[in-house]
Amino acid sequence: MNSLAQAQLVEQEILTHHAALKTQPMQGAAPSFSAHPSNLEHFKNTTGIQLLDLVPEEFISIFEGARKACAKLEFVELDSLILAGAWVRQTMRLGQFVASQWPTQRVDFGLKSHAGNSAFTPCPQKLGLYAVLANAAFVSRMARVGVPTLQLRFKSDDEYLIEKEIERCVQACTGLASNLFINDHWRLAIKHGAYGVHLGQEDVHALSREDWAQIKASGLRLGISTHGYSEMIRADALQPSYIAMGAVFPTTLKKMQTPPQGLARLKQYASLLRDYPLVAIGGITERDFASVLETGVGSIAVVREIVQDTNPEEKARLLCRLLNTETTETTETTETTENTKP
């Protein structure tokens, strides 16, 4: 069998075994996504990983077949190259090509052992219910309920308003069981003593070495959003406190970076990054909790599921129970929050 035929066979076998990894369909008109542009040179510079080392001649058909299969499964071009390299390394390590075994070992992606070590201040392996909230009023309400992990995602062009909102959130969580992450505004998170900061891919690309050093020295816990293999590997190079993966399902709350990843991909992502605290995010509702947890993540982030409920406090308690985490409420919660909307 010539190399072209071998590559076609590899491609077909991977597609047969892993059809569930195709991105999830979207209803209605095809949306536009805002995935961050990537190229091999930038990826190499930020991770130290060479994707296109000389592939041994006897494994070229594995590489090409895997690359084409991953492209047909709708992985972005860079992720397809990363996966093709992982298939080659896995085949070399096992001594044979095993189409049914999707690569999930760090060594097959060229990653060093992590062993639970973080360059940033660590956080719990299981962050429990992770509520992403738009303002200090909701942060205060959920802190009084005792939701274990909160994130302020406050959008404004007014620097004064941003700082005051962060200050209020930190004060609301002081002395309570909730750990507060601030979205994006890491300098203000440091200034006001937040538990941690959550950064998106724009920030990961934009921050300098001096910025990273300042975050690390401050003791802030660091969470990073990812939307696929290349971003996960870039995040791993930073060794953050936790890694968020999504969007799992369709969401209209913010412009999606990629098509919905689905549960099958989430399971593979979680297997590769299993040494980290992992957060699943994006369109997850109460009815999805059991299936999302089965993928191996330790935390589920929600937005609409709490803030659009007629009784956000009771919904938060229910979701915490689904995650087998107890809320630690203040005595005033049931008296003051049921009828107060921010």
* pLDDT 10s digits, 246-266: 999 998 766 666 789 999 999
- pLDDT, position 26: 60
pLDDT, tens digit (0-9, with 9 covering 90-100), for 154-171? 999 999 999 999 999 999
Neighbour count for residue 259 (Cβ, 10 Å): 20
Tokens of 169: 């959130």
Which parts of the chain have pLDDT scores under 50?
Answer: 29-37, 333-342
- pLDDT, position 6: 96
Pairing of strands 149-152, 179-183: parallel
Domains of the chain plus CATH, in order, are 3-109 (no CATH), 128-336 (3.20.20.70)
- pLDDT, position 61: 97
130 and 243 in contact (C-beta within 8 Å)?
Answer: no
How far is residue 279 from each of residues 55, 90, 230, measured CA to CA in Å? 35, 27, 17
- pLDDT, position 115: 72
- pLDDT, position 307: 95
- pLDDT, position 267: 98
Q: What is the C-alpha R_g of the chain?
A: 21
- pLDDT, position 51: 63
The answer to whether the predicted template modeling score (pTM) of the entire model surpasses 0.75 is yes
How far is residue 302 from each of residues 12, 240, 308, 331, measured CA to CA in Å? 37, 21, 11, 25
- CA proximity to 285, closest of 313, 257, 254, 318: 318
Question: What burial class does residue 71 get, using C-beta atoms within 10 Å of its C-beta: 0-12 exposed, 13-18 middle, 19+ buried?
Answer: middle
- Residues with Cβ within 8 Å of 209's Cβ and at least 6 positions away in sequence, in order, are none
Helix/strand/coil (H/E/C) assignment for every residue in 32-75: CCCCCCCCHHHHHHHHCCCCCCCCCHHHHHHHHHHHHHHHHCCC
Helix 136-145 with 159-173: angle, nearest 10 deg: 10
- pLDDT, position 309: 97
